[in-house]
């Protein structure tokens, strides 16, 4: 299967998603939008993966490629292509399908538990509880006709499915290397003493073991999206 990822900044790549794709024999290539790469033709991929980034989906004036990326997401979904959105990527799916994306009351940064809210659709691929990495300051309304999949105490819309698209507000793809890159480039976003925000050393220290616990969740989702698991 042909997987194409869209990367928005140098330090938020596909990480464990790319590891899985290569280990399972799928083709994976990417467009680095921050470098001016062109968006792919929907005919050129079977699964489109939208990575994270520190910008807002509402920053189209500063990042004009966001507008074109949303058009691509809509077109891919119309054609029945599978789409996986991670963090900013989930917000892009929400925005592209008409939902509001806005600043959250509190940031979530660190390893915090998530609860499954349904076994409908790909919700069946999620355990009842799991602890992924969070790194976001915005949230979104659930798109029309979408199924809400997961929640936290702070953020009710942590994951959703809408047709062939799945949006994850959290980072199942986190690896020690990708988390180190996030900390090195985005630790300034962490506000000392605020709830739901862990300090950088705590985030890094937890990563090797915590990441291993959520990779199986990612594998199940990717297996479903690529048709390996019915």
| Cα–Cα distance for residue pair 7/14, rounded to 1 Å | 8
Tell the burial category of 192 from Cβ atoms under 10 Å away from its Cβ (0-12, 13-18, 19+): exposed
* pLDDT recorded at residue 229: 62
Whole-model pTM?
Answer: 0.97
Residues 10-36 have pLDDT tens digits of 999 999 999 999 999 999 999 999 999
Which of 172, 184, 170, 158 has the alpha carbon at shortest distance from 210?
172
SS3 category, 171: strand
Q: Give the helix ranges, DSSP H, for the chain.
A: 16-23, 65-78, 88-96, 176-186, 200-225
pLDDT mean across residues, the chain: 97
Residue ranges of domains in the chain, CATH in brackets? 2-225 (3.40.50.880)
* pLDDT recorded at residue 172: 98
- Is the predicted pLDDT of residue 55 greater than 80, yes or no? yes
Q: Are strands 2-7 and 159-162 parallel, antiparallel or unpaired?
A: unpaired
- Is the predicted pLDDT of residue 230 greater than 60, yes or no? no
Q: Find the mean pLDDT for residues 137-147.
A: 98
Q: In the structure, what pLDDT confidence band is assigned to residue 228 with cuts at 50, 70 and 90?
A: confident
Q: In the structure, what pLDDT confidence band is assigned to residue 186 with cuts at 50, 70 and 90?
A: very high
pLDDT above 70 covers what percent of the chain? Answer: 99
Instruction: Quote the distance between the C-alpha of residue 74 and its chain's center.
Output: 17
Tell the burial category of 217 from Cβ atoms under 10 Å away from its Cβ (0-12, 13-18, 19+): middle
Q: In the structure, what pLDDT confidence band is assigned to residue 65 with cuts at 50, 70 and 90?
A: very high
Q: Which residue has the tokens 């291993």?
A: 212
Q: Are strands 114-116 and 101-111 parallel, antiparallel or unpaired?
A: unpaired
| Cα–Cα distance for residue pair 64/66, rounded to 1 Å | 5
| Cα–Cα distance for residue pair 203/2, rounded to 1 Å | 33
Q: Minimum mean pLDDT among 55-69, 78-92, 215-229: which range?
A: 215-229
Phi, psi of 138 (to 5 degrees): -120, 160
Q: Find the mean pLDDT for residues 120-147.
A: 97
Q: Which residue has the tokens 């290397």?
A: 177
């Amino acid at each position: 299967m042909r997987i194409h990822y869209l990367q928005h900044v140098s330090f938020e790549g596909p990480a464990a998603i790319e590891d899985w794709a290569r280990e399972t024999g799928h083709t994976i290539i990417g467009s680095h939008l921050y470098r001016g790469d062109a968006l792919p033709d929907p005919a050129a991929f079977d699964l489109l993966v939208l990575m994270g980034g520190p910008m807002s989906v509402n920053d189209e004036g500063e990042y004009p490629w966001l507008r074109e990326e949303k058009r691509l997401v809509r077109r891919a979904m119309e054609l029945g292509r599978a789409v996986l959105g991670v963090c900013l990527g989930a917000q892009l799916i929400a925005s592209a399908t008409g939902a509001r994306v806005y600043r959250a009351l509190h940031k979530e940064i660190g390893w915090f538990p998530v609860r499954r809210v349904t076994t409908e659709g790909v919700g069946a691929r999620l355990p009842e509880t799991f602890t992924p990495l969070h790194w976001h300051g915005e949230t979104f309304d659930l798109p029309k006709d979408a199924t809400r999949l997961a929640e936290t105490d702070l953020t009710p819309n942590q994951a959703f499915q809408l047709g062939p698209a799945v949006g994850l507000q959290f980072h199942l793809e986190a690896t020690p290397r990708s988390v180190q890159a996030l900390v090195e480039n985005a630790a300034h976003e962490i506000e000392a003493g605020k709830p739901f925000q862990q300090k950088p050393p705590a985030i890094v220290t937890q990563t090797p073991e915590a990441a291993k616990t959520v990779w199986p969740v990612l594998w199940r989702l990717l297996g479903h999206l690529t048709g390996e698991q019915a």
